Amino acid sequence: MGRDSKIEWTDATWNPIRGCSRISSGCDHCYAESVAARFSGPGQAYEGLAEFRTHAEGTESERVEAHWTGKIRFVEPHLRDPLKWKEPLRMFVNSMSDLFHPGVTSDMLGEIFHVMAKAPQHTYQILTKRPDRMLEALEAASHPDVVDSFHATYGQPWPPPNWIFGVSIEDQETANRRLPILARCKCAKRMVSYEPAIGPVDFTEAMGGDPRAILAFDWIIVGGESGHRARPMHPNWARSVRDLCASLGIAFFFKQWGEWRVGESADFLKYQEDNSTGQFMVKVGKHHSGSALDGVEWKEFPQC
């Protein structure tokens, strides 16, 4: 468990599951995949779960890239980590995997939910790129018999107000597919992580043209991609979400620009969009690009 997380919108990370697999283009430069591959040697934490593979880039060049193997491991020694911390924390569940990966069994989910219920002082942040499985699990948990049992066992309502379920999106295609499913999930709070933002997203389009449907979401996080092969984020992509959240009263968190920031020279990569001013982007590195959007730091959190 990472007690002092470097992820700006959480306090700690908790990883009772290790291993994953790619599902969309937002996974292409996954930080978790790279970390796992670095620690995948014999006897290390991610042995058998990730590896480095060599890809040919041309007739004379090659590129080494981290890849998940698709295998999942339940890390029982870390299952009860949240019980060790008495002070309330915002806790990102499975920052190094996907809680709703098909390799995560219903029994595993049940044990993880049990620990979460036993440590109600924390706020749990759960993100997935597989909302179909999340919807299925939350539908099952919302059965009247299960709800009554949960209340009798833990003295808490279902769904717990301190459990935030959400999806990660990266472009319009993933938003169109994942956001409507998230809106149907029976949970107290819903979050959207639009990171890495590698394409524009129209939330109204994703929700079938009904802007009121966006009110299903309590929190939207936006961030550019980091890493040496990071793809730039157009400033207007972040601005449009900021303005949408302001108009609807949704908490907005601008995490980072990533490796790129707005520049002023034609020597930099230039974006041109219809009916908008072209923007120049320069690659300066994550530590120099910052997280100010039009001069303002946006670090809002939903009420739980």
State residue 236's pLDDT score.
92
State residue 275's pLDDT score.
44
Say if 5 falls within a structural domain. no
Please name the amino acid found at residue 31.
Answer: Y
Q: What's the total number of domains in the chain?
A: 2
- Print pLDDT tens along the chain (304 aa): 566 788 999 999 999 999 999 999 999 999 999 999 999 999 999 999 999 998 766 556 677 899 999 999 999 999 999 999 999 999 999 999 999 999 999 999 999 999 999 999 999 999 999 999 999 999 999 999 999 999 999 999 999 999 999 999 999 999 999 999 999 999 999 999 999 999 999 999 999 999 999 999 999 999 999 988 899 999 999 999 999 999 999 999 999 999 998 876 544 555 555 444 566 788 888 988 999 999 999 999 998 7
Strand pairing category for 279-283 and 269-271: antiparallel
The domain in which residue 185 lies consists of: 12-17+75-297
Using alpha carbons only, how large is the chain's radius of gyration in Å? 20
- Residue 47 and residue 127 in one domain: no
CA distance 201 to 241: 8
- Residue 41 and residue 188 in one domain: no
State residue 139's pLDDT score.
97
State residue 198's pLDDT score.
95
- Residue 121 and residue 79 in one domain: yes
CA distance 161 to 164: 8
- Residue 145 and residue 243 in one domain: yes
Tally Cβ neighbours within 10 Å of residue 144: 8
Say if 2 falls within a structural domain. no
Token code pair at residue 39: 């620690």
194 backbone dihedrals φ, ψ, rounded to 5°: -90, 75
Over the range 264-297, which residues count as b (16 or more CB within 10 Å of their CB) and which as e? eeeebeebeeeeeeebebbbeebeebebebeeee
Torsion of CA 132, 134, 139, 145, to 10 degrees: 150
State which of 71, 88, 113 marks the end of a domain.
Answer: 71
Residues 128/98, Cβ–Cβ less than 8 Å: yes
State which of 52, 71, 90 marks the end of a domain.
Answer: 71
- Residue 276 and residue 169 in one domain: yes
CA distance 116 to 91: 10
- Residue 164 and residue 201 in one domain: yes
- Residue 151 and residue 268 in one domain: yes
Please name the amino acid found at residue 19.
Answer: G
- Residue 93 and residue 233 in one domain: yes
State residue 5's pLDDT score.
82
